[in-house]
Amino acid sequence: MKFSLFLFLFLLRLSFSSSSSPNDTNTLTLFRLQVDTHGNLRSNWTGHDACSSTWRGVTCSSNGRVTAVSLPSLSLRGPITSLSLLDQLRILELHHNRLNGTVSPLTNCTNLKHVYLSDNDLSGEIPPEISLLKRLLRLDLSENNIGGNIPREISGLNRLITLRLQNNALTGLIPDFSSSLKNLKELNLTNNEFYGRLPESLLKKFSEQSFTGNEGLCGPSPLPVCSFTGSAPADPSTQTVPSNPSSMPQTPVIGQEDKVKARKGLSPGVIVAIVVAACVVFLVVASFAVAYFCGRNRGDGVSKTGTDSGKRRRSGSSYGSEKKVYASGGGADSDGTTATDRSKLVFFERRKQFELEDLLRASAEMLGKGSLGTVYKAVLDDGCTVAVKRLKDANPCPRKEFEQYMDVIGKIKHPNVVKLRAYYYAKEEKLLVYDYLPNGSLHSLLHGNRGPGRIPLDWTTRISLYPSPTRPRVDEEEQAVDLPKWVRSVVKEEWTAEVFDQELLRYKNIEEELVSMLHVGLACVVPQPEKRPTMAEVTKMIEDIRVEQSPLGEDYDESRNSLSPSLATTEDGMAGY
């Protein structure tokens, strides 16, 4: 009897040690219900135990507690409030999503060591309670909408190695935490709204590249010289320091005191007379000015509009030369767009921005043409390279509707889609500005690299691209070649070498993987649609084809094979622009 009771207790303890805490499972389930708007986790996060089953992106400790959540690039949208209950969480990777709200709930997860929340829609401020995360090693909150000051309590994170806060709306003075954060190796505060004197110790340790894009900063060379004197306020919340030092109040110079004494001698009657006379003179001058400009506008309105329209027609066709004109000027559109409104680029992020005039001066090179327009590579005067897509004139669109489209496109975040950086709208000119991708399109990498100086797209990189949710183009040509039928006939005759890219045949020990991938492709194009696997099954089959390494042949130089596996393409075949 005693032995049976002992065995029962042992098995009960063993079952508890191999399962997660009910609270952790419930917390993750609540988090999924709040943020998984596209259902990416619905089919995988099943069962009543996050640790005993293989929940995607969840790692547990030996005692059944959730210690890591890694769910990047899943279009998750919503708050992170529920994660505050995971008190044993060590690693949190939720970058490249659409999460919103504040980061305050994370201060309850006092065991956190790595936090990666970049490229989301988080807002609010960094709470002073951040100092409770004593074990924190890496903190990445970049590419969000976080504002306010950097709390001085951040100096209490003495184990911190990485601090990335770039591309936010942070403001105020930058605290000097160089002495307290001695382990800090990486600091990025670029493209925010910081102002005032930058601590010299921080500048020496991290160089100016960690602070660019904050126009209000001044300090030691190479930063602008602080033109104001006196010490900075002890508390940024009690005194406002202007971003432009020249706007600080000037100290009265010697000699002004005598002038003040002289003005004290004026009687009240004289002062009233001076004020009345000044008002009368101002009203007379203003009346003449209004009458003059009204008469001029009546006489010249028609001819001026016609002249400006002619200028727009001439400037709109100037894309044939090396210096490309990216906009037309003057006048107002029929939808009420003034010249001032039309001369501005609308950016979606706070990182490095530029004016329309910078594009006017940029040299341009045509990259290609698509169904919507032509893409140009533009090199600005400061060396910044962007891709500019000039939409075809056959796409008329009212300004309000165009801006609505751009707002939707600008919010798209996906590793396989080039993010829209800015746009420009005018009645006869519409431009889209993207970051320039030097690797080109996927088509050119697969089929265009045949010369002696080629950079091969190795097998590991190719297979990493296949699970990407890209949409294939459907060829509507009636007399197209039946490629699946030809491939099946070749495989039947065991001539598989005819199917594979000749570049891949140079690699060794990948024949089995090539054939396995070929069978996946054949399963997707069987004549009976009901026999084709679902996309989830296809993804699982590709993931099962293990690729430990991509051995390069002797003809390839490994040092030159540096292509990123994240390549973005679009239906226009122009590297995602």
Helix (H) or strand (E) holding 73: none
Helix (H, G, I), strand (E, B) or coil at 323: strand
What CATH number does domain 339-435 carry, 3.50.50.60, 3.30.200.20, 3.40.50.300, 2.30.38.10?
Answer: 3.30.200.20
Rounded to the nearest 5°, which phi and psi values hold at 346?
A: -100, 115
* Token pair in block for residue 510: 């990948």
Alpha helices in 40-155 (DSSP H): none
Rounded to the nearest 5°, which phi and psi values hold at 291?
A: -65, -40
Q: How far apart are CA 438 and CA 32, in angstroms?
A: 37
Q: How many residues does the chain have?
A: 577
Q: Please count the CA atoms within 13 angstroms of the CA of 292 that sit on its side-chain side.
A: 6
Helix (H) or strand (E) holding 162: strand 162-164
pLDDT on residue 168: 94
> pTM here?
0.44
pLDDT on residue 89: 95
Segments making up each domain of the chain, as ranges = 9-247, 266-300, 339-435, 456-560
pLDDT on residue 309: 35
Let me know: does 32 contact 78? Beta carbons within 8 Å. Answer: no
Which parts of the chain register pLDDT below 70? Answer: 1-22, 227-343, 350-352, 393-396, 415-416, 439-481, 490-498, 502-503, 505-506, 546-577
* Token pair in block for residue 338: 């003034």
Task: Using alpha carbons, select from 75, 26, 20, 93 the residue that is nearest to residue 51.
Answer: 20
Helix (H, G, I), strand (E, B) or coil at 217: strand
Instruction: Say yes or no: do domains 9-247 and 339-435 share a fold.
Output: no
Q: How far apart are CA 20 and CA 62, in angstroms?
A: 9
pLDDT on residue 72: 92
Rounded to the nearest 5°, which phi and psi values hold at 23?
A: -65, -40
Question: Chain-centre distance of CA 289, in angstroms?
Answer: 49
Q: How far apart are CA 401 and CA 396, in angstroms?
A: 10
Contact residues for 112 (Cβ-Cβ < 8 A; gap 6+): 89, 90, 91, 92, 106, 133, 135, 136
pLDDT on residue 253: 38
Q: How far apart are CA 10 and CA 16, in angstroms?
A: 10
pLDDT on residue 184: 93
CATH class (in words) of the domain with range 9-247? alpha beta
Q: How far apart are CA 289 and CA 157, in angstroms?
A: 63
pLDDT on residue 550: 42
Could you say which DSSP state residue 507 is in?
S
